[in-house]
Amino acid sequence: MLARLTIYGLTEKIIIPIAQIASGEPYGVPPRPEMTAPQLRRTIATACRILANAGLAEDILGHVSARVGTDTILVRCRGPREQGLLLTLDEDVRQVDLDGRGDELESWSVPTELPIHAEILRARPAVDAVVHCHPPAVLAAALAGVELRPVFGAYNIPAARMALDGIPVYPRKILVRRPELGRELVAAMGVAPVCVLSGHGIVTVGSGPHAVEQAVVRALNLGLLARVGVEQARLGGRPADLTPEDIAELPDLGAAFNDLNLWRHHVARLRLTGLELD
């Protein structure tokens, strides 16, 4: 039995098996072969560079992980010649268990806030990738009490829907460096794909064969919501939320459009600036 989804604005129909829908994989994306460890390392390293190049990770702080087993992840670690997320290399991505142990760590160290990744992945089996970074606009919005509201629509439909769904906030302004703190964050985040860490940064997650790309795009969209919110507050505006009638006219264009096209765009921007990995 097949489910049929029409992507508005395109001429083709994408046929999605019910099993793919039940699995939580993104709609509109043909399943890709399982990535090898080197390919996944490259995707995570590229994700770090994209986040930094987009201004969501300004220096050495932030990390990306992807699940490779029930209790095993690849995660961006800090190496002996650390230069920051913008210059992340494949070799900075190391395989460890959810407690941060691994034979291949060598002179690399796991993130201090590994419990962010570990506790989300323990609590949410459908999650396959986690992003944590420190977008300045999100920090400013949270500290100023600026609510990230659904005030625009077609400008960025996924970001608008993110605001419509509500964005949870973890209120403690701390390093999430112990498992019990990670569990607090998990409780605050619930089943949402994103969470703001007040006075700190953000966490986003992704699922399925393009989980890293999805988590990165969610971080980009959350950063955009914050920038718009901060700017409208600076200008003294208070625009109305989207109306139900307008919401009904905002289709889901599918993950192939929303996530993968934007990911490729940001990879191309790395290439243009000479920051794409060889």
Active site residues: 113
> b vs e for 103-138, b when ≥16 Cβ sit within 10 Å of the residue's Cβ?
eeeeebebbebbbbbbbbbbebeebbbbbbbbbebb
Residue 141, both tokens: 């919005």
Torsion of CA 262, 265, 271, 275, to 10 degrees: -30
Give the C-alpha separation, 38 to 94, whole Å: 11
Give the C-alpha separation, 23 to 256, whole Å: 17
Give the C-alpha separation, 25 to 126, whole Å: 9
Question: 101, 111, 105, 79: which is closest to 92 by C-alpha?
Answer: 79
Give the C-alpha separation, 4 to 254, whole Å: 12
Instruction: Tell me the one-letter amino acid at 36.
Output: T
With contact defined as beta carbons under 8 Å apart, do 31 and 209 qualify?
Answer: yes
Question: 186, 183, 225: which is closest to 203 by C-alpha?
Answer: 186
**Residues of the chain by 3-state class (helix, strand, coil), percent to 5:** 40, 15, 40
Burial class from Cβ neighbours inside 10 Å (0-12, 13-18, 19+) for residue 200 reads: buried
